[in-house]
Structures are given as structure tokens and as C-alpha cells.
């Protein structure tokens, strides 16, 4: 699609028809009214195009936004004067680097309500919710401008689905708060103690012949299958599609970081890794095909891994999108593939699945974000507290470098013309969950010796 730019003034009645305003009680210490404005509901704009989105709820989004582009929204009710919490649902492929959305009132150069920093999210349809806070704001209905800022100039850097303005409550709880609306905060005392222990650890010098790659791993086998998801549906057994679990044998809908640490049985080595890992179940002709082996890699994609810290206890995140249902022909990004002698010899009749040679193995690799906001163990969409380090560094809203986690799964199947299915649907819906629960010393020494020192380690954590 060409990047058409220019000024489009929309008729007021047409724009009003697109403006979705929702008044709701926000889960927090105080009652608050939230106003949600769909991005395509602008009254005027410069440099934007409206397009369909695969984000949750469907609908449309605004894309092709670069430095200097803007969107104008009339009649946005910001409520009574005082603190204002702002959320923006965005996606970014990272081609334009990190940028920002300035929210201003009155005019393009009016007072700044807040600035939302936008880092790459993994794709133009990889949606995440970012938040910001305005300490003060004008009361009542206002004209709000969203102005794009990006040092790369003309390069597109962000798509926007919607904005939300919440008067009287925080969209993201502070570090001293407990849990609100899906945000789970790290326990400062526990995290500081874990960090102090990590910082005090002596580094074991790598031998001269060490492979200089930041890496250690957990080698896992299949554990069990249940329709539970303690991240997405905590405390609700049977609420999910079927998952194939790896690691901690006790994992179920009621699992927490502490229960995982208290149950020592695991299908992963090393034994001190009591984490829970899971993926949607793969089916061939209606019969479950469980992984014959999974390597969970902990590494670094940063230019310098020196500042990497361990995962805090109870940290959780999701990679991939269970709701993404689209064709995955040969050459698609993030797809199943064949490894080994003969490799891929064909495709299923629908083109979505590879056919592997008799000596090859059906595989999938899933990569998780590796930069953290430093405050939250989890977020409402289980992604907003983390980001991918596309530029080789962590910074902005995600300043803390955590190990780059990835699953490499091998399945004992070659495939047929009929293809496979996932419990979550099409091949594009493959995703993975990680609920971290390591012995502090075991994880800490591996991060320091293998990742920080940039030396390849084995499953035992040795060189």
C-alpha cells in the first residue's frame, strides 16, 4: 500500500459516529471514568491511513505514522481537573526505531498532556498497551492532538488502535501498589534481596577456548496436558484451550510463583529450574502430538549483555498470539519448519504446514521479549511490561535487560497433506507462556557466568 500523506478534514458528524466513549468503574482504590477513543475517529489528520487490524476486538487502526504526523480528536471529555491516566494501544515493526506520541490539548503546539514512548513491539500487528500519566489537565471536553515524534524523520514507526483517558485512577499501579486491573507488581523487598545476592556473586572465569555466545539452557520433555492457563485464566480450571506443559509437574490454573517453587518435580534439567512453560497442543488427525524434546534457551541479543539481570521470582510473559488466524505459506515469518536430513519436501494441501522428509524433524522456535519495565511481574495482556530489544539495547519504558528466552520445540511427526491443527487454531496462532521460578543462586550464577560474561554454557550451567 502506498504511503499517501496529506491533510484530510472529516465531517464532524462522521467523526462523532466513530468516537467510542465508554464510562466504566476502573478496578483501583478510587472510582474513575474511562473514555476510550478509537484512533480512526479523528476529526482531522495529517499523514495517516486507516486500515484493518488483527488486534483483539477487530475493527480498524491508524497506520503509516511518522515524525510530524498528527491526529486531532474533538470533544474528548477529560473529566475533572487533576491526575489523568492515559493508555495507548500501539504496534511497531521497529523499522523506524523508537519514537513517541505527544498528546497535546488545544492545538498542535498546545500544552503537553503526556508523552507515550513507543519501542518496537515485533510487527505492525503486534499490539501492546502503553501507559502514561498527566499530573494535571484542563477539565471537561477538550480538543486533543496526537503528534508523532521520531528522530528518523520520514520513516513510519507506529500504528495506533485506540487511546484511553482515565480520570481519577492510575492505569498502571505504582511500585508500592499491589495488583490492579491485570498489573502485577514486583515485591520491592524480595527483588532487591535477589538483586543483592546476584550482584555479590563472584564470576567464574570462562576458559580460553569458551565459545563467546551468551547462553545457557534448560532441557525439557513433555510433562502433562490440561485446559488450564495460570497466566491468562488464573484460578479458572478448564477455562483455556488445551495446553502442553513442560517443566514443573504441579502446574495448573492455581499455580503461583510460590507454589511452583514449593513443588520440586520438573520435566526439565537442571532440577533448580522449577519454572512452568507451556504451548498450545498440536494435533494430527485429531490425535495429540506432544513435543519429543524442548530446549529453553536463555541468552542475550543485546550489543552488550553486561547489564543483564536474572528474572525476578514469579515473572511471567507470553510470546505469540493465540488469536492470530491467518495463512502461513512457505516463507512466512515465525512458522513451523523441518530440520535434519532432507528438510522440507512439500507443504500441506492448505499450504500452512511443512511436510518433512523421513529423516527430518518438525520444529518451531519461539522468541520472547528481552527488555523489562523493572516494575511489573505481569501486565493485562501479559506483554505490556516487556519489549523486544530490536536496537540492541534496552531503554526508555523498558530499561532492564533480562535474559532472551526462546523455546525450540521438536515434534515426532513429519506431516501429511491433511496438515496439523493447534488447540488454538491455525499454525499462525502458535504461542508460548513462561512462568519463571528458579532457585535464585542457580539462575543468578548462570546469568553472571554465561550471559553477562558472554560464554556458552550447557544445561548444567558449566562451560
Tell me: the pLDDT tens digits for 377-396?
A: 999 999 999 999 988 999 98
What pLDDT does residue 155 have?
A: 83
Give mean pLDDT, residues 14-39: 44
Q: How far apart are CA 428 and CA 316, in angstroms?
A: 22
Give mean pLDDT, residues 34-44: 86
Q: How far apart are CA 445 and CA 461, in angstroms?
A: 8
What pLDDT does residue 463 have?
A: 97
Which pLDDT tens digit goes with each residue over 223-251?
999 999 999 999 999 999 999 999 999 99
Question: Residue 58: pLDDT band by 50, 70, 90 thresholds?
Answer: low
What pLDDT does residue 34 have?
A: 67
DSSP-derived 3-state class of residue 244 = strand
What pLDDT does residue 181 have?
A: 56
283, with CB counted inside 10 A (0-12, 13-18, 19+), is middle
What pLDDT does residue 52 have?
A: 86
List 378's β-bridge partners, or say none. Answer: 184
What pLDDT does residue 60 have?
A: 84
Give mean pLDDT, residues 336-344: 97
What pLDDT does residue 354 have?
A: 98
Q: How far apart are CA 246 and CA 224, in angstroms?
A: 7
Higher pLDDT, 442 or 55: 442
Contact yes or no for 162/34 (Cβ under 8 A): no
Q: Is the pLDDT of residue 71 over 90?
A: yes
Which pLDDT tens digit goes with each residue over 149-178?
998 767 899 999 999 888 754 333 333 333
What pLDDT does residue 175 have?
A: 36
Least confident of 104-108, 130-134, 253-257, 351-355: 130-134
Give mean pLDDT, residues 428-452: 98
Which pLDDT tens digit goes with each residue over 309-329?
999 999 999 999 999 999 999
Least confident of 92-106, 280-294, 340-354: 92-106
Return all residues near 266 (Cβ < 8 A) that are at least 6 apart: 223, 247, 248, 249, 273, 274
Average pLDDT of the chain, as a whole number: 87
What pLDDT does residue 153 have?
A: 66
Question: DSSP code of 206?
Answer: P
Question: Residue 26: pLDDT band by 50, 70, 90 thresholds?
Answer: very low
Q: How far apart are CA 381 and CA 232, in angstroms?
A: 8
Least confident of 13-27, 100-114, 138-152: 13-27
Cell of 402: 533480562
What pLDDT does residue 4 have?
A: 28
Cis ω before 270 (30° cut-off from 0): yes
Q: Is the pLDDT of residue 455 over 70?
A: yes
DSSP-derived 3-state class of residue 334 = coil
Give mean pLDDT, residues 31-56: 81
Contact yes or no for 61/161 (Cβ under 8 A): yes
Q: Is the pLDDT of residue 296 over 70?
A: yes
What pLDDT does residue 168 have?
A: 55
* Stated pTM of the model: 0.66
Give mean pLDDT, residues 429-440: 98
Amino acid at each position: 500500500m502506498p504511503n499517501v500523506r496529506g491533510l484530510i478534514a472529516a465531517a464532524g458528524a462522521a467523526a462523532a459516529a466513530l468516537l467510542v466513549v465508554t464510562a466504566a468503574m476502573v478496578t483501583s482504590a478510587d472510582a474513575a471514568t474511562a473514555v476510550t477513543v478509537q484512533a480512526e475517529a479523528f476529526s482531522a489528520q495529517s499523514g495517516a491511513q486507516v486500515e484493518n487490524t488483527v488486534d483483539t476486538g477487530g475493527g480498524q487502526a491508524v497506520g503509516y505514522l511518522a515524525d510530524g504526523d498528527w491526529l486531532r480528536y474533538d470533544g474528548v471529555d477529560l473529566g475533572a481537573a487533576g491526575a489523568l491516566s492515559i493508555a495507548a494501544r500501539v504496534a511497531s515493526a521497529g523499522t523506524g526505531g523508537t519514537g513517541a506520541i505527544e498528546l497535546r490539548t488545544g492545538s498542535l503546539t498546545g500544552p503537553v498532556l503526556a508523552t507515550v514512548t513507543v519501542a518496537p513491539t515485533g510487527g505492525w500487528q503486534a499490539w501492546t498497551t502503553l501507559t502514561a500519566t498527566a499530573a494535571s489537565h484542563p477539565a471537561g471536553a477538550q480538543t486533543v492532538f496526537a503528534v508523532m515524534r521520531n528522530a528518523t524523520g520520514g520513516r513510519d514507526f507506529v500504528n495506533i488502535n485506540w487511546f484511553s483517558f482515565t480520570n481519577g485512577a492510575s492505569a498502571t499501579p505504582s511500585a508500592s501498589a499491589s495488583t490492579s486491573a491485570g498489573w502485577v507488581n514486583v515485591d520491592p523487598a524480595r527483588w532487591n534481596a535477589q538483586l543483592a545476592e546476584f550482584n555479590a556473586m563472584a564470576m567464574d572465569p570462562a576458559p580460553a577456548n569458551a565459545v563467546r555466545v551468551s547462553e545457557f539452557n534448560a532441557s525439557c520433555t513433555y510433562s502433562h496436558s490440561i485446559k488450564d492457563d495460570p497466566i491468562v485464566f488464573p484460578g479458572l480450571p478448564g477455562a483455556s484451550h488445551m495446553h502442553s506443559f513442560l517443566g514443573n509437574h504441579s502446574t495448573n490454573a492455581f499455580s503461583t510463583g510460590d507454589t511452583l517453587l514449593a513443588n520440586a518435580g520438573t520435566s526439565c534439567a537442571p532440577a533448580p529450574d522449577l519454572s512452568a512453560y507451556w504451548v498450545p497442543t498440536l494435533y494430527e488427525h485429531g490425535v495429540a502430538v506432544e513435543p519429543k524434546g524442548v530446549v529453553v534457551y536463555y541468552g542475550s541479543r543485546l550489543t552488550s549483555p553486561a547489564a543483564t539481570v536474572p528474572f525476578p521470582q514469579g515473572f511471567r510473559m507470553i510470546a505469540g498470539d493465540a488469536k492470530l488466524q491467518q495463512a502461513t505459506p512457505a516463507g512466512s515469518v515465525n512458522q513451523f519448519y523441518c530440520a535434519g536430513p532432507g528438510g522440507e519436501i512439500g507443504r500441506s494441501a492448505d499450504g500452512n504446514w511443512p511436510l518433512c522428509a523421513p529423516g527430518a524433524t518438525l520444529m518451531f522456535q519461539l522468541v520472547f521479549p528481552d527488555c523489562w519495565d523493572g516494575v511489573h511481574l505481569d501486565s493485562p495482556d501479559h506483554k505490556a511490561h516487556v519489549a523486544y530489544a530490536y536496537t540492541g539495547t534496552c531503554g526508555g519504558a523498558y530499561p532492564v535487560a533480562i535474559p532472551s528466552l526462546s523455546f525450540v520445540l521438536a515434534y515426532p511427526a513429519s506431516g501429511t497433506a491433511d496438515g496439523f491443527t493447534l488447540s488454538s487454531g491455525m499454525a499462525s496462532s502458535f504461542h508460548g507462556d513462561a512462568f519463571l521460578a528458579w532457585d535464585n543462586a542457580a539462575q543468578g550464577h548462570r546469568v553472571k557466568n554465561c550471559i553477562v560474561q558472554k560464554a556458552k554454557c550447557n544445561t548444567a550451567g558449566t562451560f
